[in-house]
Amino acid sequence: MGHGGMGTVWRASDTLLRRDVAVKEVILPPNMAPSDRDSMYQRTLREARAAAALSHPAVVQVYDVVTEAARPWIVMELLQARSLAEMIVEDGPLAARAVAKIGIALLGALEVAHAAGVLHRDVKPANVLICGDGRCVLTDFGVARMPTDSELTTPGMVLGSPHFISPERAIGAKFGPPSDLFSLGVTLYTAVEGRPPFDKRDPFETMRAVVEEPPAQAMRAGPLAGVLYGLLEKDPGRRWNVETARAVLRDLLAGPLASNAPAHMTDPYAVVRPVQQPTVVTPQQPAPTGQIGGRAMIAPGETVSGALRRMHSAPAAGTAHEAELERTDASRFSADALGTDWTQVPPPPPPTGNVATQLVERAKRAPKWAKIAVAAGVAVVLLLSVGAAAGLFSGAGSTSQGQRPAGPASSAPAKPPFEVESFSHPGGITVNVPKGWTRKQAGNASAPYFDITDPADANRRVRINIEKASSTPKAFLEGAANRLKSTAASCAAPYEQVNLGDGKLDGHDGALLEYTCGSGDQKRHALWNAIVVNGKAYHFFVTVPDARFDESKAIFNEMVRSFDLTGPAAGQ
């Protein structure tokens, strides 16, 4: 039925129970030493034990292990399915809603595995099966590791495909369940975007990008982008866990990614609609390339030497497919349940430190056979020290208190240096905003909020909101600051609080927060003003690229000057 890194999967018949099953045969190189063959057989048995101990609809079921001619064969349930990798190659990127449902299914599988002390360590599209009835199944725990079997793992061994490996594994640091979640993030990104977030011309450059560079900007993900960036956090301590990712995905499926199709009956574990008939490639459609994973992966039927020649002869510029992705109009996606327009959210910034230099230097010293092994997507032996991890995650998530005063001067100019128009929030706010900016309502009908965006620069945005509050204005903004620190999807690391002080709106005492998110070209600068009147917080913020902060402060000044409570709170 197929080939994998551990051997061949056969379709077979169970003559006792009279059912069709799948049998995994381990194929070892003929010149492998006897001791290595024994270790591989032990690893196969470990895979069977690890998978058989898990019970979840999204985990393939293991029935038995049979020893024949001193070799183990794993007997598993037979699934009528295609791998997620095949679907991406043959049908193109999946819809964001389908990818969100796949994500929920795989999060459940990993949650059960991690609770049992099992790390998958090779989560990628080729190991995700989508059955004909829509069920999503995680397969191939062939590199899974039980804590009691740690002696079977060679120190420094890096297993899995370079595109899907986590940063901590790439540098040889200690890793755990967050490593599987990073690989899941790469898998979901690849499914919705049609390409991996880290894709360079060779495996070592790809691994360097995984450690050092931010993921490529998501063009097709829409509101799903926030979850992807949360799972792709470099620092495993800040990376989203199962509970956070699943909660946001469920909110998206109930909100921005809700289905508009007529109700239909389907399996409760289905992630896509059942396949009615096989996909037919028409003359108008591009023929399948048969390759998944990007330029650093070996193509079906391609030899290792041929792959190396292709890598070194390929042009440095992006492919035509990448150019097409760059032209994709992502503005058709709506905002997510939290009100953030994820089509405007930049990828998280790269970490600081010299990790990339260390990785490249170790890659250069790797033997030639190791480089070829990575090119084939099988395994790489890198003698990486655990201490190299210290430079990657040091200082992540730290908050600094700047000395620069926040916000505008105490007296705003009588006339702003730009055209304005009045905006009225139905909850009782009237305020001036730049004329001609695009208005967008989000939230629900009973508690809406409004995003007002510069049509010439989608990264300049104003949000006006009203919500229940029982605290002081400063405590209200302190809570907002804590959410920004802990939610990478809302505020790319590093979050830096410039100032949190007193403010005033329409004669009411309030609080003013100034902060930045991200670094480099992706750094954003924001001012947030709030008052609390009669149990409600009336607040707004202005968020812009850091390079345009000084010129944009006039917008904030005018909003402070013109802010007027027109509802029941007026005069309180």
Contact (CB, 8 A) for 66 and 232: no
Q: Please list the residues that pair with 543 across neighbouring strands.
A: 461, 526
CA nearest to 435, candidates 450, 448, 454: 454
Please provide the DSSP assignment of 123-151 as one string: -SGGGEEEETTSBEEE---TT-B-GGGGG
- Amino acid code (one letter) for 373: A
Q: For the chain, what is the radius of gyration of the CA atoms?
A: 26
Please provide the DSSP assignment of 180-222 as one string: HHHHHHHHHHHHHHSS-SS--SSHHHHHHHHHHSPPPPPSS-G
CA nearest to 505, candidates 468, 480, 532, 481: 532
CA separation (Å) from 527 to 402, 513, 521, 524?
14, 6, 19, 10
Tokens of 262: 């007529």
Contact (CB, 8 A) for 232 and 215: yes
d(CA 372, CA 1): 26
CA separation (Å) from 73 to 1, 49, 69, 240, 468?
15, 12, 10, 37, 61
Active site residue 122: yes
Element holding 463 (H helix, E strand): strand 457-468
Q: Please list the residues that pair with 380 across neighbouring strands.
A: 158
Element holding 502 (H helix, E strand): strand 496-505
What single DSSP character describes residue 163? G
Element holding 86 (H helix, E strand): helix 84-91
Residue 254 C-alpha from the chain's centroid: 19
CA nearest to 541, candidates 507, 513, 517: 513
* Catalytic one of 38, 122, 235, 267: 122
Contact (CB, 8 A) for 94 and 192: yes
Q: How many CA atoms within 13 Å lie on the side-chain side of 371? A: 15
Kindly give, in sequence order, each residue whose CB lies less than 8 Å from that of residue 272, ignoring residues fewer than 6 positions away: 94, 98, 101, 102, 130, 134
CA separation (Å) from 448 to 156, 232, 445, 520?
53, 30, 6, 33
First to last CA, the chain: 73
Tokens of 3: 């080939």
Q: The dihedral of CA 497, 197, 255, 177: what is its sign?
A: negative
Please confirm whether the linkage preceding 494 is cis (ω < 30° from 0): yes
Catalytic residue list: 122
